[in-house]
Structure 1
């Protein structure tokens, strides 16, 4: 039974590991904990453009990492914590001169 429990805990933490050690780009520490959507978007943009390991465009990589974090951490985020992350999507679109929703 203890083995099963250990496996379950490991399985839950893989998304945190991906966020911290993504092979696509190096993120600034605690970038998603900032309450400022503009700072989050700028940091993701910078990280995506500086990365030489990403496979997609800088915009796609940055947006994917933001969505990944929201989807994986979303159930554990309060409304107050999730709001700047959702707003960061439009800020990121504006930084890349893409249509906002």
Structure 2
């Protein structure tokens, strides 16, 4: 039995609208016109530009996975550290 293409493809993690927001942020960063929210300084980091694009997409309600919380990141880092020390 053959499966249709729709059944074999996975759902998008990020919506097309979110991808456009990130692309716009990256373009602005390249031009040197992308500013950070709090301080208003020019963004130079590629990762920061992506984060700004995703943040804007989240505010507009686009489909974007939830941010990893700081506590979750701390727990995984702590788990890796204890695993490393026991080895």
Shared fold (TM-score, shorter chain, > 0.5): no
TM-score (norm 2): 0.30
Higher helix share: 1
The structure whose Rg is larger is 2
